[in-house]
Structure 1
Amino acid sequence: MSIPPKFAGLKLSAATPQESQHTLELYLDYVCPFSAKMFNTVYALGPRIIEKYGSQLQIILRQHIQPWHPSSTLTHEAGVAVLRLAPERYWDFSAALFKHQTEFFDVSVVNETRNATYERLAKIAGSVGVQEGKFLDLLKIPEAPRADGQLNVGNKVTNDLKWIIKTDRVIGVHVSPTVFFNGVEERGISSGFTAAQWEEWLSQNVV
């Protein structure tokens, strides 16, 4: 599945879409432990994958909200904000957020306001070079009604988030992690894949 230019930061690749022969899509949730396991392995392999496969492969990190974890929406809004402000930092931000993911699990946020959660996410964004003030400006929810009385106002990334959710629903992704290879779900890839298993799978499939 193609992606709009404004979401180019989703990719980990040295290739352009026109050059790429294969596409590997990782549907991951920032508050899913299994997603973290898969991401961390692929992220560590990233430089070697790019060096070895060059224009033969593009890897796309697809954000996948799992609403049974309410903070999933907030963390993915943060990912969208980074895509908007500094797409070249998106994978680094994702790595930092996965490192701190337990700080956004259900028990960790149960007594926290939404804007307070955004403020903690801003610190993580700031740690990878994203401007915290601009980040918060995209995410924070007004604490009073708008002049027209509207209460259900969302934030400045709501429309982008809707697009991300639609892409998941169109192809029927339910849980994370889910992997698609060249547009088809690849059930042979496990979140527990080691670096060696990833390298073996890639060598057999990226030709």
Structure 2
Amino acid sequence: MAVPPKFAGHKLEFAPPTASSSSVPRATHTFELFVDYCCPFSARIFNTLTTQVFPVVRETPAWASSLTVVFRQQVQPWHPSSTLMHEAGLAVLRLAPDKFWAFSGELFAVQKDFFDVSVVNETRNQTYRRLAKVAAKVGVSEEEVYKLLVIPDKAGEDGSLNIGNAVTNDLKVVTKMNRLVGVHVTPTVVFDGVVQDTSSGWTVDQWKEFFTKNIA
């Protein structure tokens, strides 16, 4: 599945493209990671991949030059704060796309602060404010993030009340894209367009076996 240019920060590549005189376009294997910021299993797989597996990929030239990873933001609506957390990710993606993966790691690390019991007694905008503070930890302006997230307390000029925030339309796009694939469970890995039987509990050795088998 394609990555729109405005969501380029979702992509992670490990090596610069090599020069070639061939008329055949350069292509890489695509590893799509469908995860939810509010899902403990998503946090587990993200941590394993980013801290243990991806360093191995970078150190393996055949893999580094042949693999593109795509972060797919998968909102899980039975976690009410999931939407708000992903909106924060989209705000960071717009303001500082190079900080998106770092922000995601930071948010996964504190995800329990946004579980049901942790947010039940605060307003939506109060939750947004705390999410903006998480963005500030990776060097993104707290105030700029909050401006994109905050919900006005007055109706729109046309009297509308469901006016959303500045990243609502981006959330609609990523949700629409994910629905086309039909992903339900998080985390889900799609490799070269095919859903894989992977697990958040996989070890580094199991991931190495996976890449050895699948990267030509």
TM-score category (smaller protein): over 0.9
Identity over aligned pairs, percent: 56
Deviation at 1:159, TM superposition (A): 0.7
User: What is the TM-score normalised by the length of structure 2?
Assistant: 0.91
Task: Report the Cα offset of residue 167 of structure 1.
Answer: 1.0
Q: Secondary structure at the match of 1:133?
A: helix
Q: SS at 1:60's partner residue?
A: strand
- Counterpart CA distance in 2 for 1:171 and 1:16 is 29
Mind listing any 5+ residue stretches in structure 2 that lack a counterpart? 18-24
Match in the other structure for 1:106: 116
- Please give the per-residue CA displacement for 1:7-34, whole angstroms capped at 9, x wherever unaligned: 1111111357963420010100001001
The verdict on how the C-alpha distance between 1:170 and 1:90 changes in structure 2, with shifts beyond 3 A counting, is: same
Per-residue deviation at 1:47? Answer: 3.1
Q: Does 1:92 align with 2:99?
A: no
Cα distance, 1:133 vs. partner?
Answer: 1.1
CA contact (8 A) 1:15 1:58 kept: no
Q: Is the 8 A contact 1:20 1:55 kept in 2?
A: no
Candidates 187, 190, 212, aligned match of 1:203:
212
TM-score of the aligned structures, taking structure 1 as reference length: 0.95
Cα 1:162/1:15, change in 2 over 3 Å? farther
Answer with 193-202 or 67-76: which moved more.
193-202
- Checking the alignment, whether the CA contact within 8 Å between 1:26 and 1:178 is kept in structure 2 is yes
Find the aligned partners of 1:32 and 1:101 in 2 and give their Cα distance: 8
Map of 1:22 onto structure 2 = 29
* Change beyond 3 A, Cα 1:47–1:19: farther
**Aligned residue identity for 1:5:** P
Counterpart Cα distance in 1 of 2:204 and 2:106: 20
* 2:190 aligned counterpart, secondary structure: strand
Query: Paired residue for 2:151?
Result: 141
Q: 1:97 to 1:201 in 2, by over 3 A?
A: same
User: For 1:24-43, what aligned pairs fall within 5 Å after superposition?
Assistant: 24-43=31-50
What's the CA shift for 1:111? 1.1
What are the superposed Cα offsets for residues 31-63 of structure 1, whole Å, 9 maximum, x if unpaired? 100101100011113233134222200011100
C-alpha RMSD over aligned residues: 1.4
Look at both structures and tell me which one has the larger radius of gyration over its CA atoms: 2
Q: Is the 8 A contact 1:12 1:46 kept in 2?
A: no
Contact residue 26 and residue 60 of structure 1 kept, 8 A: yes
How many residue pairs get aligned? The number is 206
Match of residue 5 from structure 1: 5
CA distance in 2, matches of 1:182, 1:134: 36
Indicate the residue corresponding to 1:61 in structure 2: 71
SS for the counterpart of 1:43 is helix
1:79 match: 89
Structure 2 partner of 1:48: 56
